[in-house]
Amino acid sequence: MKVTLSNGIEVNLRTPATWKAWGMAECRYPEVQPPVTTSTTVTGQEISMSIDDDPGYLLAVKEREKKVNSTASELIMLLALKDVKVPDGWTPDVYADEFMYVNPDWKPREGAVGVKLDYIEYELLAAPKDFALVQSFINESTDVDQDEVDSIVKSFQS
């Protein structure tokens, strides 16, 4: 589906295989295992129990979820905007001073795919309505309900 963004650029949107993107993101970051404690019962038998409420474990699970969500979202956007080409000479460095003012550790993504992601994020879909247009297409074409997306996003913001 071809759409024209608010900056006048026409892009071809493809239906991404979201299930594949999520699966690949899940595989990239191994499941976090809870710590295990071993005890000896009064009969001398050893038993092992996982500590599912361990603060370190819960923090690691939350960090993994953020990485999986970020990676899957990036891959889905790349799949939906597969035909987008980064203009010759474009680099995210044009925004470096502003981003580093807010976050001194900011760095552009690495590699050709990283540059393409930066171009999509900082240039192509910089206008919220353009991002919303592409996101709506992805949601509708993959049969995802926007209320479901909003509830998932809110669950990760807390």
What contacts 13, CB < 8 A, 6 or more positions away? 1, 2, 3, 80, 81, 134, 137, 138, 141
C-alpha 86/C-alpha 113 separation (Å) is: 10
Domain regions of the chain by residue span = 2-157
Contact indicator for 81, 123 with CB cutoff of 8 Å: no
> Does the model's pTM come out above 0.85?
no
pLDDT (0 to 100) of residue 38: 92
pLDDT (0 to 100) of residue 16: 85
pLDDT (0 to 100) of residue 1: 87
pLDDT (0 to 100) of residue 20: 87
**Distance spanning both ends of the chain, measured CA to CA:** 35
Residue by residue, pLDDT tens for the chain (158 residues) are 899 999 899 999 998 888 888 889 999 999 999 999 999 888 889 999 999 999 999 999 999 999 999 999 999 999 999 999 999 988 888 888 888 899 899 899 999 999 999 999 988 998 999 999 998 888 888 776 656 666 665 665 55
C-alpha R_g of the chain: 21
Q: What φ, ψ does residue 142 adopt, rounded to 5°?
A: -110, 10
Residue whose tokens read 């599912």:
52
Q: Which residues pair with 47 in a beta bridge?
A: 39
pLDDT (0 to 100) of residue 157: 56
Q: Which residues pair with 4 in a beta bridge?
A: 10
Cα–Cα–Cα angle for 149, 150, 152, nearest 5°?
65
